[in-house]
Amino acid sequence: MNKGVARSQVAAVAAPSRCGSTQNMSANVKVVVRVRPLNNKELEHNSQIVVDIVDDKMLVFDPKEEIRPFFYHGMQQQNKTFLKRANKELKFVFDNVCGPNATNKDVFETSTKDIITSLMEGYNCSVFVYGATGAGKTFTMIGNIENPGITYLTMEHLFHTIGSFGNEREFDIGVSYIEVYNENVYDLLKPSNTPLQLREDSKYGVMIAGLTLCNINTARELLNLLENGNKNRTQHPTDSNAESSRSHAVFQVYVKMRGKASSQLRIVKLSMIDLAGSERASATGCIGDRFKEGANINKSLLSLGNCINKLADGSSYIPYRDSKLTRLLKDSLGGNCKTVMIANISPSNTSYEDTYNTLKYAARASKIQLSIKKNIVDGDMRLSQYVKINEELKKKVKELEAKLSLSTVKVVDNKDKLMEEWKRRILEEESALSQVESKLVSLMSRQRVLALRHRLRTQAFSHVADLAHRSSYDALQQMCTEEIPRHERAAENYVKQSAGLDAKIKICWTKWCECRQRMQSLFKQALSECSSLSDFVEKLKLQSEMRLIKASDDLTYKLLCIENEEIKAFTDYMSDMPSMLKKLYLTLKGYGQAPPALTAEYLEIMKKAKLAKGITWCDSQDEGDDQFKFISTLDLEKPIINLEFDIKKDGIVTDLTTDSEDLTDIENRDPIRNSAMKRKGTPTKLKTDETVLIDDSIELLDTTRTLGSAKKLKQEYDIPVYDNPIDPSNLNSTFVLPAKLESLKKQPIKNEVNLTTRSAFMNRPMVSQKMLNFNDKGVTFNKPIVGKAMPLRRVPPTLNPRPTAGFGSSLSRDGTPLQRNMQDVPRMKVNDPQRSVGYKSFRARERVQAHPYTRPTGANTWRH
Ligand SMILES: Nc1ncnc2c1ncn2[C@@H]1O[C@H](COP(=O)(O)OP(=O)(O)OP(=O)(O)O)[C@@H](O)[C@H]1O
C-alpha cells in the first residue's frame, strides 16, 4: 500500500458500494450507550445521578429513589418528598451499556470490534456517536494519547485483521476526514475555506466532490492524520464544554481487498462520525456566532432524529435531504451498511433533558431495520460462466437491435405520417385559395371586359357624334341625337355594373389575401417541421403562378377578340370612305371648287390608302396608356376598383364648369381622356344624372370654337326671340339635357325661321332645363325651353370714336369689344330682305375662313 496523501476521485474508491454480487441480510442498528463519569463541575455541584446502569445491556433513567422513613418527634412524616418531581424510571435496553468506568477500549470491544469482521466480509460499516454537548462523544471517538478513541482502536484492529489476511488478499486503504460546519462540508485533511459539494449518484450513492483521500498503512499514521485533522476542526469553548466541537466530523476509510488466489474484489467503506453535540442554548450559554452554530447543529441533529424516527417506523420516505449531515449519513442509516450508534450521556441530573432525549433517540435507532449486502465482485469466474454471460449479452444486444430497428421504423412511419398530414392540410388550404382566386380572376376579367366594351362604345359614339356635329346633314344629326339616350342608358348600366363588380372584387380580394396569408404561414410551419416538403411546396407555388399566367392569357385573348371585332367593323366602315371621298373631291373639282391644298391632301390620303396593307386602329396610342394597361393586365395584388373611363372619378364629376371660355382649353386640359368626351356634340354624363351637351348649334361657331365669339356672333346676328328670352350674356354652347330626354324630344319643334342657323336650332333637341355657364354663372329654368339661343339686342354704339377693328383685333368693326380670339365677321340683320343671301354669303365666307387651306390672302376664291 502506498503511503502519503493522494488526491483521487471518490467515485473510483466508493464505487463498489452498490455494485457487485451481494449476499443480503437484515440487521438492526447496533446501539451502545456510554455513560461518562461525572466531571469536576458536576461533582462540585453535587449533581445527582439520574442514570442507573442495571447491567451491560440495561439502564434505568431517572430511577426511583429509595424512600427512607422520616421521623419527627417520634412520628413518621409523609410529605418529606413533596417538592421532588415524580421519577420517570425509564428502563432502556441496548446492545451494550458502558458505565462511567468503561474505557475506550471497552467501548471498542463492545461496539466496533465486530464491525471489522463485517467489513472484511464485504459489508459497509458505519459508526456514529450521538449525544449532548460535553457528553463525551469526542472522547469516545478520538480519545487522547493515553486513552485512544475507538477510531484509532478500530483502525488498529483493522490493520491487525488485514495483517491476518496478508497471505490471502491484497489491500488498499484510503482515508478521508471532513467536517460539516454550519451546513457546509470542509476537508479536514486539506483545509480550505471553500466548502466541498455533495453529489448523489444512483449507482454510487452520496459522494463528496474533490475530497482528499490519504493512503495509510498503519494505525500510527492514522493517529497522526487524525491529530492534524482535529487541529483543523472547528472547536469553540462553551459553558458545557471547554473544547466543544462545533461541527460534525466524518472520518471514512475505504478498503479495497482483492483475493490473491481468486480474483474476488471487495471494496468497502467504514465511516466513523463524531457528531456535534445537541444542545440547549440556555445550557451552553451561546450567543452570536456560537448561537448560530448551535442552531445549525440542532437543525441537522433534528433532521437526523427525524430520519431515525422514520426509519424506525418503516416509513417509505426518509427526509435525508433535510440537512447535509443526513445526506452524508444516508448510507449509514438506511442503506447498505452495518451501523453502530454510540449514544453518549452524562449521568448528572444537570443534563437530565439531554440525557433523556439521547436515550429516546438511541432507543428509536435500535429499532431501525437495515437490509445490507456484501460488496463482493467475484472475479474468479470460469470460462463457462463467461461464455454464458456472453451469450446472454449477445441475446440482449439482439433484442435491443430489434427494438431499435422497430423504433426506427416507427420514427420513419411517424415522419411519413407527419408529412402526409401537412400535405393534406396544405392541399385543403390550396383548394380553398384556388376557389377564391378563380372567383377573383373571373370578376376582374369581367371588370376589364366591361371597361373595354364601354370604352369602345364611348369612342364609337363619340365618332358618330362628332361626325354628325360637323355635318349640316339633318338626318345624320337626328341619328346622333337618337343615339344619345341609348348611350346614356349604356353609360348608366356601365356605372352600375362597374360599381357592383368593384364591390364584389373588394370582398373577394380581401378573402383571397386572407387565404394567401394562411397559405404562407402554413408553408412556413410545414417546412420548419418537415423540411422534406420543400419540393412539394415549390411545386404548389409554381402551379399557383401558372394558374395566374393562364388566367391573364385568357383575359388578353378575350380582349383581343373584342378589339378584333371592333377593328373589323371599323375597317368595313373605313373601306367606304375612299370612294365617298373620291366622289366628293371629283364633284368639287368639277365645280372648280377644289383648291390646290385640298387636292394635295386628297392625293396624299389616296396614296396612303393604296399603300396601306391594313387599317391602323385609330386608338393605337392606347397601347401606352394606363387605361389600356389596366384592361389588358391582371394584377391580383393591386385590384383596381375605381375605373376612370367615365368622367366620374371617386364620385366627383370632372369639372366642366370652368373659367375658361375656350372650348379648346377644356379639350386640351386632359386631351387623352376628355377629347372624345367633350367634343362638341358629345353628351357627357353629370353626377346629377343630367347630360351636358356641348352643342354649337350654330354652325357659324365652328369658325372660332370659342364661346366668346359664339356669344358675339349670336348677339350680332340678332337671332329672333322665341318662347323665352335668354340673357345672351349667358348664352353659350353648352346645354344640360335632362335625363328623360325622350319626353322632351317629342315636343313640337317650331320652324318659323327658315334659316340654316335657325333650322339648326330648331331641329336639335336643345331643350334646356339648366344652362351651364363656363363662367360659373348658370341660370336655372324650371320649364323646358325649346330652341333658344336668344340674340341680344345690340347696345347702341357710343358717340365716342371707336378704334378701328381689324383682323385679329379685339374690337368689332362697330367698336363693340370683342371676346378673346374673336374673328372679324360681317354683321348681318336677320330681318333684312337679303338676309338669306347675306347669311349664305356669310356662311360661304365663314366656311372659307374656317378651313385651314382657305384662309384668304385676298378677296379671291380658289378656282381650278
Ligand atoms: N468517559 C470519559 N472518561 C473521562 N473523561 C471523559 C469521558 N467522557 C468525556 N470526558 C471528558 O469530558 C469532557 C467533554 O468531553 P467531549 O469533548 O468528548 O464531549 P463532546 O460530547 O465531544 O462535546 P462536544 O459535543 O461539545 O464536542 C472532555 O474533557 C473529556 O475529557
Report the nearest-CA residue for atom 1 of ligand 1: 36
pLDDT bucket at 266, cuts 50 / 70 / 90: confident
Question: Is a pLDDT exceeding 80 seen at residue 727?
Answer: no
Collapsing DSSP to helix, strand or coil, 617 comes out as coil
Ligand 1 and 347: CB distance under 6 A:
no
What is the C-alpha to C-alpha distance for residues 4 and 812, in angstroms, rounded to an integer? 138
Ligand 1 centroid–CA 98 distance in Å is 15
What is the C-alpha to C-alpha distance for residues 115 and 663, in angstroms, rounded to an integer? 127
pLDDT in tens, 523-566: 888 888 888 888 888 888 888 888 888 888 888 888 888 888 88
**Atom of ligand 1 at shortest range from CA of 139:** 18
Collapsing DSSP to helix, strand or coil, 277 comes out as coil
Is the domain of 536 the same as that of 623? yes
183-197, 635-649, 681-695, 810-824: the lowest-pLDDT one = 810-824
Cell numbers linked to 283: 445550557
Ligand 1 centroid–CA 41 distance in Å is 13
Ligand 1 centroid–CA 367 distance in Å is 27
**Continuous segment of H or E residues that includes residue 781:** strand 779-785
Q: Does residue 419 lie within any of the structural domains?
A: no
Best mutation site among 137, 139, 233 for ligand 1 pocket (most ligand atoms within 8 Å of CB): 139
Given the C-alpha cell 391644298, which residue does it identify? Answer: 597
Of all residues in the chain, the percent with pLDDT exceeding 90 is 3
Ligand 1 and 134: CB distance under 6 A:
yes
**Atom of ligand 1 at shortest range from CA of 344:** 21
Is the domain of 580 the same as that of 696? no
Q: Max Cα separation, the chain? A: 190
Best mutation site among 141, 145, 239, 243 for ligand 1 pocket (most ligand atoms within 8 Å of CB): 243
The reported pLDDT for the residue numbered 292 is 64
Given the C-alpha cell 466513523, which residue does it identify? Answer: 272
Ligand 1 and 344: CB distance under 6 A:
yes
Ligand 1 and 137: CB distance under 6 A:
yes
Query: What phi and psi values does residue 415 have, to the nearest 5 degrees?
Result: -65, -45
Q: Does residue 281 lie within any of the structural domains?
A: yes
Best mutation site among 101, 130, 150, 241 for ligand 1 pocket (most ligand atoms within 8 Å of CB): 241
Question: Is a pLDDT exceeding 70 seen at residue 580?
Answer: yes
Q: Does residue 686 lie within any of the structural domains?
A: yes
Is the domain of 558 the same as that of 695? no
Question: Is a pLDDT exceeding 70 seen at residue 692?
Answer: no
- Quick one: average pLDDT of 189-206? 79
Question: Which CATH number is 245's domain given?
Answer: 3.40.850.10
The reported pLDDT for the residue numbered 460 is 77
* Amino acid sitting at position 559: L
Ligand 1 centroid–CA 65 distance in Å is 28
Report the nearest-CA residue for atom 10 of ligand 1: 136
Question: Is a pLDDT exceeding 70 seen at residue 314?
Answer: yes
**Atom of ligand 1 at shortest range from CA of 275:** 25
Q: Is the pTM of this model over 0.80?
A: no
* Range list of β-strands (E), 409-552: none
Strand 205-208 with 125-131, pairing: unpaired
Q: Does residue 387 lie within any of the structural domains?
A: no
Question: Is a pLDDT exceeding 90 seen at residue 837?
Answer: no
pLDDT in tens, 200-224: 776 667 788 888 888 888 777 877 8
Ligand 1 centroid–CA 704 distance in Å is 137
Is the domain of 643 the same as that of 682? no
pLDDT bucket at 641, cuts 50 / 70 / 90: low
Q: Which of 266-270, 333-337, 677-681, 841-845 has the highest mean pLDDT?
A: 266-270
Is the domain of 486 the same as that of 622? yes
Collapsing DSSP to helix, strand or coil, 131 comes out as strand
Q: Which DSSP state fits 321?
A: G
Q: Does residue 789 lie within any of the structural domains?
A: yes
Is there a contact between 549 and 542 (Cβ–Cβ < 8 Å)?
no
The reported pLDDT for the residue numbered 372 is 59
- Quick one: average pLDDT of 21-38? 74
pLDDT in tens, 297-312: 777 888 888 887 787 7
Is the domain of 616 the same as that of 687? no
Cα-based distances in Å from 76 to 69, 73, 85: 6, 8, 21
Cell numbers linked to 20: 457487485
Q: Higher-confidence residue: 677 or 658?
A: 677
What is the C-alpha to C-alpha distance for residues 527 and 241, in angstroms, rounded to an integer? 75
Ligand 1 and 245: CB distance under 6 A:
yes
Q: Which of 78-82, 333-337, 577-581, 745-749 has the highest mean pLDDT?
A: 577-581
pLDDT bucket at 472, cuts 50 / 70 / 90: low
The reported pLDDT for the residue numbered 370 is 64
Q: Last residue of some domain: 341, 361, 377?
A: 377
**Atom of ligand 1 at shortest range from CA of 141:** 18
The reported pLDDT for the residue numbered 317 is 85
Q: Which DSSP state fits 733?
A: S
Is the domain of 558 the same as that of 580? yes
Is the domain of 465 the same as that of 530? yes
What is the C-alpha to C-alpha distance for residues 422 and 425, in angstroms, rounded to an integer? 5
Ligand 1 centroid–CA 43 distance in Å is 15
pLDDT in tens, 404-450: 776 666 666 777 888 888 888 889 888 888 888 888 888 888 888 88
Cell numbers linked to 61: 433513567
Strand 265-274 with 125-131, pairing: parallel
Is the domain of 626 the same as that of 673? no
Cell numbers linked to 834: 337679303
Ligand 1 centroid–CA 7 distance in Å is 33
Range of the domain at 751: 663-854
229 is in an annotated binding site: no
285 is in an annotated binding site: no
Ligand 1 centroid–CA 148 distance in Å is 13
**Atom of ligand 1 at shortest range from CA of 241:** 26
Question: For residue 339, what are the β-bridge partners?
Answer: 126
Report the nearest-CA residue for atom 8 of ligand 1: 136
Report the nearest-CA residue for atom 23 of ligand 1: 134
**338 CB-near residues (< 8 Å, 6+ apart):** 27, 30, 115, 118, 123, 124, 125, 126, 370, 372
Question: For residue 371, what are the β-bridge partners?
Answer: 26
Q: Last residue of some domain: 603, 619, 652?
A: 652
Ligand 1 centroid–CA 139 distance in Å is 5
Report CA Rg, the chain.
Answer: 63
Is there a contact between 127 and 376 (Cβ–Cβ < 8 Å)?
no
**777 CB-near residues (< 8 Å, 6+ apart):** 730
Q: Higher-confidence residue: 111 or 465?
A: 111
Question: Is a pLDDT exceeding 90 seen at residue 343?
Answer: yes
Please give the tally of structural domains in the chain.
Answer: 3
Ligand 1 centroid–CA 786 distance in Å is 139
Report the mean per-residue pLDDT for the chain: 67
What is the C-alpha to C-alpha distance for residues 335 and 18, in angstroms, rounded to an integer? 10
pLDDT in tens, 768-818: 333 333 333 333 333 333 333 333 333 444 444 443 333 333 333 344 443
Collapsing DSSP to helix, strand or coil, 839 comes out as helix
Cell numbers linked to 823: 374673328
* Range list of β-strands (E), 183-264: 184-187, 198-201, 205-208, 212-215, 235-236, 244-245, 248-259
- Quick one: average pLDDT of 332-344? 81
Q: Last residue of some domain: 377, 401, 421?
A: 377
The reported pLDDT for the residue numbered 645 is 39
Ligand 1 and 243: CB distance under 6 A:
yes
**508 CB-near residues (< 8 Å, 6+ apart):** 436, 439, 440, 443
Is the domain of 676 the same as that of 603? no
Ligand 1 and 99: CB distance under 6 A:
no
Ligand 1 and 131: CB distance under 6 A:
yes
* Range list of β-strands (E), 710-767: 734-737
The reported pLDDT for the residue numbered 36 is 92
Q: Does residue 260 lie within any of the structural domains?
A: yes
What is the C-alpha to C-alpha distance for residues 832 and 844, in angstroms, rounded to an integer? 18
What is the C-alpha to C-alpha distance for residues 776 and 441, in angstroms, rounded to an integer? 45
Half-sphere exposure (Cβ direction) of 207: Cα atoms closer than 13 Å: 24
Q: How many CB atoms lie within 10 A of CB 853?
A: 13
Q: Does residue 34 lie within any of the structural domains?
A: yes
**357 CB-near residues (< 8 Å, 6+ apart):** 132, 278
Is there a contact between 213 and 176 (Cβ–Cβ < 8 Å)?
yes
Is the domain of 40 the same as that of 143? yes
* Amino acid sitting at position 572: D
Q: Higher-confidence residue: 112 or 478?
A: 112
Ligand 1 centroid–CA 690 distance in Å is 123
281 is in an annotated binding site: no
Ligand 1 centroid–CA 141 distance in Å is 10
Question: Is a pLDDT exceeding 50 seen at residue 601?
Answer: yes
pLDDT in tens, 38-57: 988 888 888 888 888 888 88
**Atom of ligand 1 at shortest range from CA of 238:** 26
Q: How many CB atoms lie within 10 A of CB 588?
A: 16
Ligand 1 and 133: CB distance under 6 A:
yes
Half-sphere exposure (Cβ direction) of 533: Cα atoms closer than 13 Å: 25
Cα-based distances in Å from 639 to 283, 439, 580, 631: 94, 13, 46, 11
27 is in an annotated binding site: no
- Quick one: average pLDDT of 313-328? 84
**Atom of ligand 1 at shortest range from CA of 240:** 26
Of all residues in the chain, the percent with pLDDT exceeding 70 is 55
The reported pLDDT for the residue numbered 21 is 40
**Continuous segment of H or E residues that includes residue 238:** none
Question: Is a pLDDT exceeding 90 seen at residue 850?
Answer: no
The reported pLDDT for the residue numbered 609 is 72
Q: For 52-70, give one letter per residue: b (16+ CB within 10 A) or e.
A: bbeebeebbbbbeeeeeee
The reported pLDDT for the residue numbered 37 is 92
Q: In terms of Cα–Cα distance, which of 452, 454, 480 is closest to 679?
A: 480
Ligand 1 centroid–CA 138 distance in Å is 6
Q: Does residue 278 lie within any of the structural domains?
A: yes
Is the domain of 618 the same as that of 689? no
What is the C-alpha to C-alpha distance for residues 14 and 22, in angstroms, rounded to an integer? 16
